[in-house]
Amino acid sequence: MSADNTPSFHERAVAEIQSIPYGRVATYGQIAARAGNPRGSRQVSRILHSSSRKEKLPWHRVINAKGGISLPPGGGYELQKSLLRDEGVEFDERGLVDLERCGC
DNA sequence: TTACTGACCTTTT
DNA sequence: AAAAAGGCCAGTA
């Protein structure tokens, strides 16, 4: 981590993820674009996995651009859904989050 | 058809 | 060895 004065993609993305308030969600594209790479949405997921192991990142607040869970069933899909619901996030009948309300 | 979004893998520090 | 940093490709709308 170049914590000197080099705002890397990694720490930038982690900061954005941690900046997500309660009851709010963010998409990969939003975080990636804010981090400095509009095409680095893939890396965001990697950071969620990597940093969340040591840092307690609200990975459950990170969803895809459709407002849904990109995780496979049994891999954390219903788990994240429950976490978001516990925060007050409204889910669609299809399991989609209201990006108009929580899409910061 | 084209454009955009992904929950990874690889390499470097 | 472990963690951080970085990018390309294919699927879907």
Nearest nucleotide, C1' to the C-alpha of A6? C5
Task: Indicate if CB(A1) is under 7 A from strand C.
Answer: yes
Those nucleotides of strand C lying less than 7 Å from any protein Cβ are: 3-9
Nearest nucleotide, C1' to the C-alpha of A14? C4
State residue A46 phi and psi, 5-degree precision: -65, -40
**Annotated domain spans of chain A:** 9-102
The pairing of strands A26-27 and A62-63 is parallel
Q: What is the pLDDT of residues A27-83, one digit of tens each?
A: 999 999 999 888 889 999 999 888 887 778 899 999 999 999 999 888 889 999 999
CATH of domain A9-102: 1.10.10.10
Distance CA A97 to C1' C3 in A: 32
What's the whole-model pTM score?
0.89
A4 has pLDDT over 60: no
